[in-house]
């Protein structure tokens, strides 16, 4: 059994009625909400019950600490604070300056970054800020210098037309969605695929691994302005030293989206060639997922891009969310603690144990295993689509998400894969022994599920049939398993 982390360790009761400070805080908050809209209070309480009872294996989810959660529910929510620290478009932002500065300082310290920007509301916002910061540095700044003006408002109509045309003709090379990339890495229906003349790189069809020689050849031929590295469903590590070499060779800016594995970077599990911060020109991330903070985004960059990144508002963003920045500062302070390194290493240990447990039961895994926080199961070997497998697992008390696999014949909606991750369960204190039990539960569900016949012949990609009693049995076993690892044990809403 893994050692319980302090996030889940129950503190001693500190009130006369025996309640903890956390229980009092959250009970009081729900009482206030219930006085206005009781259905919302009930839904919040029900969500805690669901999360306590189910096996949460979604690789992009985690459990934030009570301190992080409470930092979001305060008067900072009432503040407008467009601009940056010390340069706001609104008065009365000195306290916002404090929390934004703390978030940035903690981020620079934790990640070893030259500059940090804590305002993005989400991962896609962080990526948009990064894209436009690079465009501002690489396209706009030279155009302004050539025209002899300081800002775009001073450009002549002719020069402005030239700049707009230049903005719309830049190239980006990013990892394809089915290889493990993200929607914002150039997927055509996403804004990133519409902003840029875009090309994708994939993985070696024999191994499922990034083919750096093929990527280099593509970069030489395509000559992109931006190369995007990072992933949301790639179960191995990326060599960012090689990625930077390729970018430098073709004159591209290297951008790394580390949203999924930021906690592994913060926890010093990914170092050297596998730590993106020393190698990338600009790095984006979310602050939840493996970093275990609030839902939000962040940008890290070198000094050459700092002034452009800080123009995220008004360039891309509107008013920042000061209450979320406060929570980011708290989460990053937690990530600086020594115990966070133990937590990050346990994420990877658990992921590898989960992969080994699935492999010995005959599951087919993309790349044959994992080196990070996630495992990608090709469920076609069970005769299922990802959508069918996801639904059958959910009915059985196991929360996952369907995901494309390389060269997926079922597309991005039905998919052929299931993505599972270990950050959340590791937060609860589950260890490698429990991962083997979970692998057994997953295999039992997938083996006991079959595709339902479609209405007009063939097999339905959406419907499935579970063996009698299987869902109830597995859900009971899953609930029993997590009951030994209480979630938020210091919080009693009863």
Over residues 64-92, the mean pLDDT reads 94
**pLDDT at residue 460 is higher than 80:** no
| Dist. CA 489–CA 494, nearest whole Å | 12
Under the banding of pLDDT at 50, 70 and 90, the label for residue 4 is: very low
The answer to whether the beta carbons of residues 186 and 192 sit under 8 Å apart is yes
**pLDDT at residue 424 is higher than 60:** yes
Q: CA 62 → CA 9, 288, 302, distances in Å? A: 16, 7, 29
Residue of 8, 19, 61, 80 marked catalytic: 80
* Interstrand relation of 226-230 and 253-257 (parallel, antiparallel or unpaired): parallel
Residue of 27, 295, 311, 341 marked catalytic: 295
pLDDT at 36: 97
pLDDT at 1: 35
Over residues 113-121, the mean pLDDT reads 97
Residue of 140, 178, 257, 334 marked catalytic: 257
Question: For this structure, is 257 an active site residue?
Answer: yes
pLDDT at 14: 60
pLDDT at 3: 39
Q: CA 479 → CA 11, 391, 487, distances in Å? A: 23, 18, 12
Under the banding of pLDDT at 50, 70 and 90, the label for residue 161 is: very high
| Dist. CA 99–CA 103, nearest whole Å | 6
- By mean pLDDT, which of 167-176, 269-278, 346-355, 395-404 is the weakest? 167-176
What are the pLDDT digits (tens) for 36-61?
Answer: 999 999 999 999 999 999 999 999 99
pLDDT at 458: 73
For the chain, state the CA radius of gyration.
24
Provide the percentage of residues in the chain whose pLDDT is more than 70. 96
Q: Mean pLDDT across the chain, nearest whole number?
A: 92
CATH topology (fold) of 76-335: 3.40.640
Helices marked H in 148-211 = 157-167, 191-195
- Better-predicted residue by pLDDT, 458 or 398: 398
> Distance from first CA to last CA of the chain, Å, rounded?
28
pLDDT at 103: 98
pLDDT at 114: 97
The domain segmentation of the chain, as residue ranges, is 76-335, 339-483
| Dist. CA 114–CA 280, nearest whole Å | 12
Reading the block at residue 323, the tokens are: 């209450």
pLDDT at 371: 97
Question: For this structure, is 82 an active site residue?
Answer: yes
Query: What CATH code would you report for 339-483?
Result: 3.90.1150.10
What are the pLDDT digits (tens) for 334-358?
Answer: 999 999 999 999 999 999 999 999 9
pLDDT at 2: 39
Considering 83-92, 308-317, 402-411, 429-438, the range whose residues carry the highest mean pLDDT is 429-438
Q: Could you tell me which residues come within 8 angstroms of residue 182 by beta carbon, excluding any fewer than 6 positions away? A: 123, 175, 230, 231, 232, 257, 259
**pLDDT at residue 6 is higher than 60:** no
pLDDT at 117: 98
What are the pLDDT digits (tens) for 11-44?
Answer: 555 655 567 999 999 999 999 999 999 999 999 9
pLDDT at 447: 97
Over residues 318-338, the mean pLDDT reads 96
Question: For this structure, is 402 an active site residue?
Answer: no
- By mean pLDDT, which of 183-192, 317-326, 330-339 is the weakest? 183-192
Residue of 286, 367, 415, 432 marked catalytic: 286
Under the banding of pLDDT at 50, 70 and 90, the label for residue 461 is: confident
**pLDDT at residue 91 is higher than 50:** yes
What are the pLDDT digits (tens) for 363-373?
Answer: 999 999 999 99
Residue of 52, 88, 138, 289 marked catalytic: 289
Question: For this structure, is 339 an active site residue?
Answer: no
């Amino acid at each position: 059994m893994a050692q319980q982390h302090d996030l889940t360790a129950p503190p001693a009761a500190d009130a006369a009625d025996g309640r903890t400070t956390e229980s009092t805080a959250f009970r009081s908050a729900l009482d206030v909400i219930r006085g206005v809209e009781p259905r919302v209070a009930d839904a919040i309480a029900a969500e805690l019950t669901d999360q306590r009872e189910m096996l949460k294996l979604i690789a992009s989810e985690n459990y934030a600490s009570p301190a992080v959660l409470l930092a979001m529910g305060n008067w900072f929510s009432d503040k407008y604070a467009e601009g940056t620290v010390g340069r706001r478009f609104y008065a009365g932002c000195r306290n916002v300056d404090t929390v934004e500065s703390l978030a940035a300082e903690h981020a620079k310290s934790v990640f070893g970054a030259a500059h940090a920007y804590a305002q993005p509301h989400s991962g896609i916002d962080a990526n948009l800020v990064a894209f436009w910061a690079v465009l501002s540095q690489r396209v706009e700044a030279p155009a302004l210098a050539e025209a002899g003006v300081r800002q775009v408002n001073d450009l002549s109509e002719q020069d402005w037309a030239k700049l707009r045309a230049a903005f719309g003709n830049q190239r980006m090379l990013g990892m394809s969605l089915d290889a493990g990339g993200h929607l914002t890495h150039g997927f055509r229906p996403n804004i990133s695929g519409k902003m840029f003349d875009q090309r994708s790189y994939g993985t070696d069809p024999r191994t499922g691994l990034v083919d750096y020689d093929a990527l280099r050849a593509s970069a030489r031929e395509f000559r992109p302005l931006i190369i995007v590295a990072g992933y949301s469903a790639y179960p191995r590590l990326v060599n960012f030293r090689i990625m930077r070499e390729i970018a430098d060779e073709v004159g591209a800016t290297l951008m790394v989206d580390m949203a999924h594995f930021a906690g592994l970077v913060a926890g010093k599990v990914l170092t050297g060639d596998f730590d993106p911060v020393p190698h990338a020109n600009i790095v984006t991330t979310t602050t939840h997922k493996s970093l275990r903070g609030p839902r939000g985004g962040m940008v890290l960059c070198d000094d050459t891009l700092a002034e452009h990144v800080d123009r995220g508002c008004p360039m891309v963003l509107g008013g920042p969310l000061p209450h979320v920045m406060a929570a980011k500062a708290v989460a990053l302070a937690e990530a600086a603690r020594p115990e966070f390194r133990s937590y990050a290493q346990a994420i990877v240990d658990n992921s590898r144990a989960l992969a080994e447990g699935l492999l010995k039961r005959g599951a087919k895994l993309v790349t044959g295993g994992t080196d990070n926080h996630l495992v990608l199961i090709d469920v076609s070997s069970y005769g299922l689509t990802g959508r069918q497998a996801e639904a059958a697992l959910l009915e059985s008390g196991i929360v996952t998400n369907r995901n494309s696999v390389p060269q997926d014949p079922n597309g991005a909606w039905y998919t052929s894969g299931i993505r599972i991750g270990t950050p959340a369960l590791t937060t609860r204190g589950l260890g490698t022994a429990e991962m083997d039990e979970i692998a057994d539960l997953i295999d039992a569900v997938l083996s006991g599920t079959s595709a339902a016949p479609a209405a007009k012949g063939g097999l339905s990609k959406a419907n499935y049939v579970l063996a009698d009693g299987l869902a109830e049995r597995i859900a009971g076993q899953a609930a029993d398993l997590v009951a030994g690892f209480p979630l938020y044990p210091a919080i009693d809403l009863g």
